[in-house]
């Protein structure tokens, strides 16, 4: 077995490819109450401050806890809705109480699928066929880190023509805009719902 070595902490790091932000503060007791209710399948009673700075009291059924960058999100359902999970930023929860009332998790919910659908990327879970031309210097990394399993790449002039099936989202739009003039002929084709 490997023994800990004093120099190891200085040899491996993980860094974000995004601009680093400090994590927002979470009110005392919120993370504990949310975690407890999540693992016990208990209904939570929350006081939540919206992005528009309005306070609201809400009961929710916690389904998952998700970290995106420096932020934590509670994925949950309203008490009488099994259809549309939504996310609440933990730092906007002013108070959380585990009611002790149990609920049955919906059979069809998958946290992995929720993430894959781009919900935290400000999307609505709708897949599109994305295609664009991108200069080689800007698009080289997409040959190594693909957009999707079905990504197709054709070398064309001084760039690549790329197409892939992805979930449409605001995060995708921001990412594409970051390429500026190095990307063109952008098309987002909605996929037929089966």
The pair of three-digit structure tokens given for residue 152, joined into one six-digit string: 């197709």
**Residue pointed to by tokens 């063109």:** 184
Per-residue pLDDT, 8? 58
Q: What φ, ψ does residue 90 adopt, rounded to 5°?
A: -60, -35
Q: Please, how many CA atoms are within 13 Å of residue 154, restricted to the half-sphere of its CB?
A: 7
Task: Give dist(CA 112, CA 64) in Å, integer.
Answer: 10
Closest listed residue to residue 124, CA positions, set 184, 159, 87, 167: 167
* Rg, Å, the chain Cα set: 21
23-61: burial string, b at 16+ Cβ within 10 Å, e else: eeebbeebbebbeebbeeebbbbbbbeeeeeeeeeeebb
Return averaged pLDDT per consecutive 10 residues of the chain, 194 residues in all.
58 64 88 96 95 92 88 88 84 96 90 71 70 92 89 94 87 85 91 68
């Amino acid at each position: 077995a490997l023994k800990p070595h004093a120099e190891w902490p200085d040899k491996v790091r993980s860094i974000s490819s995004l601009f680093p932000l400090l994590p927002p503060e979470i009110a005392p007791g919120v993370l504990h109450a949310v975690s407890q209710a999540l693992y016990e399948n208990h209904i939570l009673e929350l006081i939540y401050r919206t992005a528009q700075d309005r306070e609201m009291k809400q009961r929710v059924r916690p389904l998952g806890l998700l970290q995106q960058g420096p932020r934590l999100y509670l994925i949950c359902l309203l008490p009488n809705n099994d259809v549309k999970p939504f996310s609440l930023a933990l730092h906007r929860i002013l108070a959380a109480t585990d009611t002790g009332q149990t609920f049955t998790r919906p059979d069809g919910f998958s946290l992995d699928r929720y993430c894959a659908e781009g919900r935290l990327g400000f999307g609505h879970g709708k897949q599109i066929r994305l295609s664009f031309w991108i200069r080689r210097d800007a698009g080289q990394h997409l040959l190594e880190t693909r957009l999707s399993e079905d990504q197709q790449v054709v070398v064309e002039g001084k760039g690549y023509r790329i197409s892939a099936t992805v979930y449409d989202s605001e995060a995708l739009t921001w990412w594409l805009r970051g390429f500026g003039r190095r990307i063109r002929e952008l098309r987002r084709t909605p996929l037929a719902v089966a």
